Structure 1
């Protein structure tokens, strides 16, 4: 299954690949060179298909749990002051996605969307300390009846040039449902109350919509 955000890119990538293969077959007469160039063309298509895949996830909805919004690796666990909306100290968990990870963003918790805002910005590498405040990004806050207000932020990386955000203010959302997509490399930060019980470790690989990253004390 592929994400709807990739439909046009997949179509044109397939078209270009077919044209390239026919062109290579017609113009390149050296057998080994023809084979190598065809493999490169097919590999390009495979990478595009892998990037836009949207596998089904078995989300166990639980208001006492916060799930990872994306696939990737935990690169930050620290106490910070969140100054865009919450204006208080929080526990920040950041997940970095490489180009080979699934790039669907999922709601880490269910509830009411009370804030959703897009910020234009730079395209620093996603692991840069200032990327959370200076890069192109979207900030979403979901109010959960048990945890309170949970903020998560999609952050564009050096390759990303478009962040898709489906969260609409005042809408009711379901934990684990698609909330957006970031094209070609990125990171997502989640800001939790200080009393949260963190369930992940640095460098741990997590799965969006399935891995529990925090629970209530």
Structure 2
């Protein structure tokens, strides 16, 4: 199915399949399998070996990398992460995405914008994707704490990585990968100057985390607080569109 053109008129063929495992996670899963087999076959310690084997399956599941169908419409901003919309607020973008970094490329403008925070539990897919098509203008890594990523202050205090993407028309969108309680490494797949498509894989965060997305000025969220997002598929907003959307949990 990868690379196949699908539409809302029924064109294309789809079939369910097991998701692949990202190469970043295969080594951890294989190490865990090897240790579990050591306890089971050589040491005959089943009380340790079987739980480790179950843990191995969990590691493979954590690094699963399913295919996604990405809507291709220039005005749409798609979710960079799987997970729960835990915060929607009006905030100033991070200084690292605004200040003059000496590259001659503008950052985000001053002034409050809508920030959508997506919390990823250990059960979510942790591959992150580009919210729009464009050029990676900035990639800024900042060391920090490992507090609960669901807290608002995690945006400023946790280990994080800011990414700025610029479309061909000059529209810029920033988003931030934030480490959580269990996360201990943010792994980028891109670098400044790379051209990415909407929904393209740009990195991952190991073992529980959060992604903040800063919508452009004049753009409201199309997702609701408490809604679940799918990376590369869920539309977070439409550039230049403002509208109150209400929903009821049930």
Taking structure 2 as the reference length, the TM-score comes to: 0.79
Greater percentage in strand:
1
Alpha-carbon shift at residue 116 of structure 1 (Å): 1.1
1:13 corresponds, among 14, 32, 52, to 32
Deviation at 1:16, TM superposition (A): 1.1
Matched with 1:77 is: 88
Looking at secondary structure, tell me which structure has more helix per residue: 1
| Structure 1 position 61, deviation (Å) | 2.1
Runs of 4 or more above 4 Å deviation? 36-39
Q: Which residue is equivalent to 1:47?
A: 58
Distance 2:52 2:93 in 1: 45
Among 109, 112, 132, the residue aligned to 1:89: 112
Q: How many residues matched?
A: 209
Q: Which runs of 5+ in 2 are unaligned?
A: 1-19, 99-107, 242-250
Q: Is the 8 A contact 2:134 2:165 kept in 1?
A: yes
For structure 1, the 5+ residue unaligned runs are 28-33
Q: CA RMSD in A?
A: 1.7
TM-score (norm 1): 0.90
Q: 1:145 to 1:79 in 2, by over 3 A?
A: farther
Whole-angstrom distance in 1 between the partners of 2:172 and 2:39: 50
- The match for 2:147 is 124
> Comparing both chains, which one has the higher relative contact order based on Cα–Cα distances under 8 Å and sequence gaps of 6 or more?
1
3-state DSSP of counterpart to 2:74: coil
Aligned position for 2:71: 60
Q: 1:174 aligns with which of 164, 187, 197?
A: 197
Q: What does 1:135-174 correspond to in 2, within 5 Å?
A: 135-145=158-168, 148-174=171-197
